[in-house]
Amino acid sequence: MTHHIDVSTVLRGAVCELYSNLVTRPTGAAVRGAIEALLAERNPPTITTIDFSRVNLLDFSCADEIVAKLLLRHVEAAHAADPAPADDHYVYFRGMRDDHLDAVEAVLERRALALVWDFDGVPSLLGSVDPDERRHWEFVRVGGPVWAPHVARALDSPVERSTHVLDRLWRRRLVMRSAEGFLVPRGISGVAA
């Protein structure tokens, strides 16, 4: 199931009706809390597009509060010994402009996180990933859904290595597992939730 959350709408509802700037840590925490409440209402598996298109300013503290801490919540749930199906949530980001990216990239690198975002209509990786993760992710993006043995053959990688890398990407919520294989989560645009 796919959903759309307009961050500007959440900001206006959580902080101030006339506000479209994310510039303080308390503001970011309030917005993240409202987003988490919306996500908690949804039955997994879900892909939720977090849309920054109508946000004017995004500073480092808000990028940390909203983007990094939201990702950490989902990544930590996926790293549980046996992740429950209830933790099968993915976030997809869109509408991040160059001025937003400076803050987002800084917090992703600092926390060793990565995300999937819409770059000119194409799912792309942003943040901290190693070359092997990027190579596997790109293959899944183009060829998915696909299982590890197919990826291994195509990338001339041992099956065990590809299995490990794909599992790591899944636990980082950069790829999804479905009955058909691994695939890259793709978001939607639409009316804000």
Q: What is the pLDDT of residue 149?
A: 97
Q: What is the pLDDT of residue 24?
A: 77
Q: What is the pLDDT of residue 69?
A: 93
- How much is the pTM? 0.86
Q: What is the pLDDT of residue 2?
A: 81
Please return the burial class of 23, using the count of CB atoms within 10 Å of its CB with bins 0-12, 13-18 and 19+. middle
> Distance between CA atoms of 191 and 186, rounded to whole angstroms?
16
Q: Which residues of the chain carry a pLDDT beneath 70?
A: 15-21, 77-87, 188-193
Q: What is the pLDDT of residue 19?
A: 58
Domain spans of the chain, in order of start: 2-183
Q: What is the pLDDT of residue 3?
A: 85
